[in-house]
Structure 1
C-alpha cells in the first residue's frame, strides 16, 4: 500500500473544474484523483480532502486550495501540470494494546423499515437522531445537537470491535456536511462527519484490514479512510 499527499496545479483545470474543486464536489474530486491511476479498471484508492493551509507549513507555500491524502494499492503516477504527489509505502506494524491517535471522515447511516415497505431504507444517523429527539418532544437546539452528536458517536462505537479497535475516550466530532449532486438522471446524496480521538488496538489484523480497505459507506466519495498515528 502507498500513502500519498496530492496537491493540485490549478493551471491544469478549466473554470468549471476549478469551481467543483473549491466547492468540495466529492464526485468531481473522485474523478480527478482517478487520473493518478489510468491503468486501473477498478478504484484502487481511498482519499480524504483537507485544505493546504491546515496541512502545510510556510516553507511549502500553502494556498487556499484543497489537498488530498490518498491511500492506494499501487503507487500513483503524477499528472504533469495537474496533480503532484509525494508518496511513501504504507505498512503499519500494529500490536494489541497499541494506543493510536486517529482521524476518520465517515458517512454514518442506519437502516429503518417503514410501515408498508418490504425493505428497509438507509438514513443519515444524525438526521435520524434529530427526528427521534423531536418525536420525543425534545426540540430545544441544545437537546437536538446533543442527540445528533450522541447518535454519531454511538454509530462508531457499535462498529469499532468489527474494525479491530476500541475507543478510549469521548470523541471530537466536527465538519458535519450534507452532499448532493445529480449524476445521469440520478440524485446522489450522502452526509459526512469528522471523527477524531484515541483508539486502542484490539485486533491488529482487523484494524489493518480497516486501514487498507476503508470503513463505512461512500468510500468512493472521500469517506472511510481511517488515518492513524502514534502519539
Structure 2
C-alpha cells in the first residue's frame, strides 16, 4: 500500500473548482489511477481513500492506495510542491496487540432513523442523518472501535482520548447514471477525530486502515491515519 502527501496550491483555479464540488475533487484524485472496465468500482479496486486536511498554511491531500499513483495527471499548478509517496507496509507491520497509536480520521458519523425517530420498521425505508452532538459523535467512534479492532483509552476525568472537530460541510453534484434523473446532490457533514487508540485485534485494525471506516469513502471520509503516540501512556 502507498500513502501520498500532496501540498495543494490554493491559488490553483482547478483546485478551487474541485473544492466547490466534492465529486469533482473525487474525480481529480481518481485521475491518478488506471481506468478500469465499465461498471468496475475503480475506488474499491484500487483501494483509494483520501482526506483533505486544513492548516494555517493551506491544504494537504492525503491519498492512500493499493497501487502507486501517477500524480503527473494533475492539472498544471495544482500543487505547490512535488508529490511525496511512501510505502505503508511499516505502519501495517507495527499494528500489534496492545500497541498505542495517535490517530486521525475524517469520518461521516450517521445513524439510521425512521419517521417519529423510532427504530426502522421491517420493510420500511430508513433515512440516514448526521450526528451533530459531540457525545453522539464520540459514541459513534467508540462503536466503530469495537468492530474494527481498537479501543480508545480514557484520560483521567476527561473521558475518552478523542477530540471531535466539526469540519465544513462537503457538497457537490454527481450526474446520475440514468439521464432522466438529472444530477444528484451530495451533502456530507464530516467530523475530524484526533486522539489515541490501543490495538485489540491487529487483523481487524489493519483491515480498517486498508479499507476505511464509515460511509462517504469516495468523498474524503474514512481514511484512518496512525502515528506514534504524542504523549506517554
2:149 is aligned with 1:164: yes
- Could you tell me how far 1:177 is from its partner in structure 2? 3.0
Alignment partners' CA distance in 2, 1:110 and 1:227: 23
Find the aligned partners of 1:230 and 1:156 in 2 and give their Cα distance. 20
**Gaps (5+ residues) in structure 1?**
55-63, 127-147
Determine whether 1:75 maps to 2:75.
no
Partner of 1:97: 98
> Would the alpha carbon gap of residues 18 and 4 (structure 1) be closer, same or farther in structure 2, given more than 3 Å must change?
closer
For structure 2, list consecutive stretches of 5 or more residues without a partner in the other structure: 155-159, 176-182
Determine which of 166, 177, 200 is the counterpart of 2:168: 177
1:121 partnered with 2:127: yes
Contact 2:104 2:192 in 1 (8 A): yes
2:4 match: 4
Q: Where does residue 57 of structure 1 map in the other structure?
A: none
Quick check: 1:218–1:224 contact (8 Å CA) kept in 2?
yes
Hey, what's the Cα distance between the residues in 1 that align with 2:215 and 2:134?
Answer: 19
Q: Where in structure 2 are the equivalents of 1:36-75 lying within 5 Å? A: 36-40=32-36, 42-43=42-43, 44=46, 45-51=48-54, 64-75=57-68
**Is the Cα contact below 8 Å between 1:35 and 1:79 reproduced in 2?**
no
Runs of 4 or more off by more than 6 Å in structure 1? Answer: none
CA distance in 1, matches of 2:110, 2:137: 9
Secondary structure of the 2:103 match is: strand
Provide the rounded CA distance (Å) in 2 between the counterparts of 1:177 and 1:187.
16
Number of equivalent positions: 196
Deviation at 1:39, TM superposition (A): 3.9
